[in-house]
Amino acid sequence: MSQNPFDALGGGGLDLNAIMQQAQQMQAQLADAQERLAETTVDGSVAGGAVTVTVNGVGELTAVAISPEAVDGDDADAFEGLGDLVVAAYRDARAKADALAAESFGPITGGLPGLPGDGPGAPGQLGF
């Protein structure tokens, strides 16, 4: 059998230049999406807004706001619980940022395994 196995693809072979162009286009789209995410912020809050944190689209914490009502200055237990509220608010904001990243990267990567947007939790693995 001397038939070229790539004949079924049409044209008798792979067009490596086209593949490279597609890869470069995808890389540019990913960089643009990453830049937009870094500039976008989302808020997470708990306890009726007692603690609100802001993260950018790639999950970096950029602000923490604590309402005066969240802490009674004389209550040591309130201060201990404040840390838990900040963590919970961060988790809320981070979940929103991850969803935003999946929404932004999903159409670009098409859900390819190991790339941003390939499923739940994937954006947190980006390292951007």
Q: Write out the residue range of the structural domain in which residue 24 sits.
A: 5-125
107: CATH: 3.30.1310.10
**Helix crossing, 16-39 with 76-109: angle to 10°?**
150
pLDDT at 65: 92
Q: What token pair was written down for 15?
A: 């067009």
How does pLDDT run across 91-102, given as a tens digit for each residue?
A: 999 999 888 888
Domains: count for the chain: 1
In the predicted model, is pLDDT for residue 9 greater than 70? Answer: no
Residue in the structure block whose two tokens are 């201060």: 79
How does pLDDT run across 77-88, given as a tens digit for each residue?
A: 667 778 888 999
